[in-house]
Each structure stands twice: as C-alpha cells, then as structure tokens.
Amino acid sequence: MVMISELYGKKVIGNNGRWVGEVFHVVVDTEAGTVSHLLLGKIDERVKGDMIRELIKNSITFDRVKKIADTIVVGQARE
C-alpha cells in the first residue's frame, strides 16, 4: 500500500526506460474511492476552468501504473 502523499514529486518513466514526467497532482475518483489519474504538470489558476482538457493532455491514467518504488513505472496507453 502507498500513501497518496508519497506519490507527489515522484519521477515517472515508461517501461521502456524513457522519462515521462513528474507527479504534481493525484486525481481521486471520490465515487469509486480510487486514484484515477496522475497529473504530470502544475495547474495554475488560469487552467483550472479547463481542467478536463489539461488532465487529458498532461496525465497518466492510474491503470497504466506497473510499479511504484523510487520512481513510478508505467506501461503503454491502451488504444
């Protein structure tokens, strides 16, 4: 088990070893009680109104996470 607070600032790499980004925000689906996305960029005040597009552009769905250790390893996006 991992605390959400431990995810902030972790480096994210693909399972091919390539840099993907760094976790700035964790999005929780409050109805399901699960983490849905890892947001890989800062959200400043100007983009909060357009959060959905920002999430799609700069996030990893949590189902892609393969391993959480010193870094987070993610698999390929599903088509």
Q: What domains, with CATH codes, occur in the chain?
A: 4-74 (2.30.30.240)
Q: Per-residue pLDDT for 15 more than 70?
A: yes
Q: What pLDDT, on the 0 to 100 scale, is given for residue 41?
A: 77
What would the pLDDT profile of 28-76 be if each residue is shown by its tens digit? 999 999 999 999 877 665 555 666 666 667 889 999 999 999 999 999 8
pLDDT band at 16 (very low <50, low <70, confident <90, very high): very high
58: its two tokens: 């700069």
> 13 CB contacts (<8 Å, ≥6 apart)?
19, 20, 71, 72, 73, 74
